């Protein structure tokens, strides 16, 4: 039975948007409508939500660390009670397999990390006789993308809450149900009205209104570089802080002394995770020209292990791309690779075998890719890998850095010192060596047109804090007034 979601969440209540719009949600695996969501959020709704957040900030900003820790504990408990619902939602609206639990389990880990950090973070320090206070920045607009529709908004909101800020969340039009379910969780946790608000609407209406609103103190946006530029332009008129995590075209550089098989198999798993719909995907694999033909069979063999199909089937490891538009976009990039002379190693334009409906794309690998080709330069956001040859390590570094993006980078080598030296030359915000796992305490963000600011851990918390110098209250030995100890 088709479900209808007619409300958004403002000031602790479920209310209808002021505009008449709605959106039919199409299951990307079946191409059938499974839900209808209110999509009529307007600038008027933004005004209401911002006013609620501003009122709430006056008292919420003065809550104690212990009070905010208790709120995070309640959110975690309410979230954990709904994990199966979240898995069902992301399977339906995103096509993410229920077997791939990272979309659902990851947010729990991030909330626990934020909770522990909040308990140990020093909001007041000193320099000589001066107290350095870190205070909540205020009302925050949190604009999240469709590819990680639970984890990204959770990271934004939980650090804003930890800092003592109030928030208005704007999720993607393409995956709004995850945001609605998250609002239900936060409502269940019993936060004060106005601390969290959710608006459902089009980005060019709601997103622009939030970014330009004079009573919004910070905009945290994750999405495309093109949209991020618009957010920055709108926010500049009121000189508010902007935190942007934008596009990526990350390179995995396989040095000649690396374990080629390990590098290839890891690259497939990381690049094609979430059907390639990840801004950190290593979608460029740089291999020495003498080793390309050795690497390709490992790539093809690893790709053959994917089980593509119904996201709800327990054996499925790769689902569809999110919608018809993304399906056509990814296929357009595959065609451009063919047209521009890249060698098609596997995959291609046809649907995977046995699937005659749904937005399924074959995992595709191109070789003989040169830096000027479209598939080497532009973010595809689908299961497409470009294998690029290099002659020298200097050339490999030049190719890797020859991008408007600088979000992630990857290096494989059997020599840690050599690998570290090469990684140090990469112009990107997050580098992994030999497939090392990332750490939720460490900062995430990009160089160049991949963004401004950092999320997660101490750096992520401090995005939501202002710094104030208060003179004359601390002594040279570090003594602080009892009030701020």
Q: What is the pLDDT of residues 281-305, one digit of tens each?
A: 999 999 999 999 999 999 999 999 9
DSSP per-residue codes, 352-365: PTT--SSS----EE
Q: What is the pLDDT of residues 121-152, one digit of tens each?
A: 999 988 888 899 999 999 999 999 999 999 99
Q: Given a cut of 70, is residue 483 above it in pLDDT?
A: no
CA atoms of 69 and 79, how far apart (whole Å): 15
The answer to whether 35 touches 92, Cβ cutoff 8 Å, is yes
Q: Given a cut of 90, is residue 277 above it in pLDDT?
A: yes
Domain chopping of the chain, boundaries: 3-246+450-470, 251-433
Return the CATH class of domain 251-433: alpha beta
Helix (H, G, I), strand (E, B) or coil at 96: coil
CA atoms of 117 and 113, how far apart (whole Å): 6
Give the catalytic positions in this structure: 245, 279
Q: How confident is the model at residue 389 (pLDDT cuts 50, 70, 90)?
A: very high
Q: What is the pLDDT of residues 344-367, one digit of tens each?
A: 999 999 999 999 999 999 999 999
Rounded mean pLDDT of the chain? Answer: 95
Which pLDDT does position 126 carry in this prediction? 84
Which pLDDT does position 1 carry in this prediction? 67
The answer to whether 167 touches 196, Cβ cutoff 8 Å, is yes
Q: Identify the CA nearest to 168 among candidates 48, 22, 37, 18.
A: 48
Q: Given a cut of 60, is residue 484 above it in pLDDT?
A: no
Q: At what angle do helices 102-120 and 83-93 cross, to 10 degrees?
A: 130
Q: What is the pLDDT of residues 187-206, one digit of tens each?
A: 999 999 999 999 999 999 99
* pTM of the complete model: 0.95
CA atoms of 445 and 453, how far apart (whole Å): 6
Residues constituting the chain: 485
The answer to whether 97 touches 317, Cβ cutoff 8 Å, is yes
Torsion of CA 63, 66, 72, 77, to 10 degrees: -130
Q: Identify the CA nearest to 49 among candidates 136, 138, 139.
A: 139
CA atoms of 454 and 462, how far apart (whole Å): 9
Q: How far apart are the first and last CA of the chain?
A: 56
Domain 3-246+450-470 belongs to what architecture? 3-Layer(aba) Sandwich (3.40)
């Amino acid at each position: 039975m088709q479900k209808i979601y007619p409300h958004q969440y403002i000031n602790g209540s479920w209310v209808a948007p002021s505009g008449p719009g709605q959106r039919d949600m199409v299951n990307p695996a079946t191409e059938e409508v499974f839900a209808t969501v209110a999509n009529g959020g307007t600038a008027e709704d933004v005004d209401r939500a911002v006013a609620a957040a501003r009122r709430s900030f006056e008292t919420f900003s003065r809550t104690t660390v212990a009070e905010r820790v208790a709120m995070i504990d309640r959110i975690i408990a309410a979230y954990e009670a709904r994990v199966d619902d979240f898995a069902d939602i992301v399977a339906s609206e995103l096509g993410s397999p229920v077997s791939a639990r990272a979309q659902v389990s990851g947010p729990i880990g991030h909330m626990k990390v934020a909770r522990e950090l909040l308990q140990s973070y020093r909001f007041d320090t000193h320099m000589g006789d001066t107290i350095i206070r870190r205070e909540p920045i205020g009302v925050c607009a949190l604009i999240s993308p469709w590819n990680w529709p639970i984890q990204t908004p959770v990271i934004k909101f939980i650090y804003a809450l930890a800092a003592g800020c109030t928030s208005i969340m704007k999720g993607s039009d393409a995956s709004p149900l995850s945001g609605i379910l998250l609002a239900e969780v936060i409502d269940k946790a019993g936060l004060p009205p106005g601390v969290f608000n959710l608006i459902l609407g089009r980005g060019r209406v709601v997103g622009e209104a939030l970014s330009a609103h004079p009573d919004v103190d910070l905009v945290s946006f994750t999405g495309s570089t093109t949209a991020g530029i618009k957010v920055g332009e709108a926010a500049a008129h009121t000189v508010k802080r902007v935190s942007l995590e934008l596009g990526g075209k990350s390179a995995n550089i396989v040095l000649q002394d690396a374990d080629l098989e390990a590098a290839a198999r890891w690259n497939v798993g990381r690049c094609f995770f979430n059907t390639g719909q990840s801004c950190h995907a290593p979608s460029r694999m740089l291999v020495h020209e003498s080793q390309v033909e050795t690497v390709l069979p490992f790539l093809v063999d690893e790709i053959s292990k994917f089980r593509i199909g119904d996201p709800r089937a327990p054996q499925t490891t790769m689902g569809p791309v999110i919608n018809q538009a993304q399906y056509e976009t990814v296929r357009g990039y595959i065609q451009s690779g063919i047209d521009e002379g890249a060698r098609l190693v596997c995959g291609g334009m046809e649907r995977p075998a046995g699937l005659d409906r749904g937005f399924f794309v074959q995992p595709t690998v191109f070789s003989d890719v040169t830096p000027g080709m479209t598939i080497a330069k532009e973010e595809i956001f689908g299961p497409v890998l470009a294998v690029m040859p290099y002659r020298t390590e200097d050339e490999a570094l030049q190719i890797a850095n020859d991008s408007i993006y600088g979000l992630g980078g990857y290096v494989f080598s059997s020599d840690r010192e050599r690998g570290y030296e090469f990684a140090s030359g990469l112009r990107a915000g997050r580098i992994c060596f030999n497939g090392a796992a990332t750490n939720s305490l460490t900062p995430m963000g990009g160089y160049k047109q991949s963004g401004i600011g950092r999320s997660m851990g101490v750096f992520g918390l401090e995005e939501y804090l202002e710094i104030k110098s208060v003179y004359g209250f601390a002594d040279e030995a570090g003594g602080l007034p009892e009030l701020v100890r």
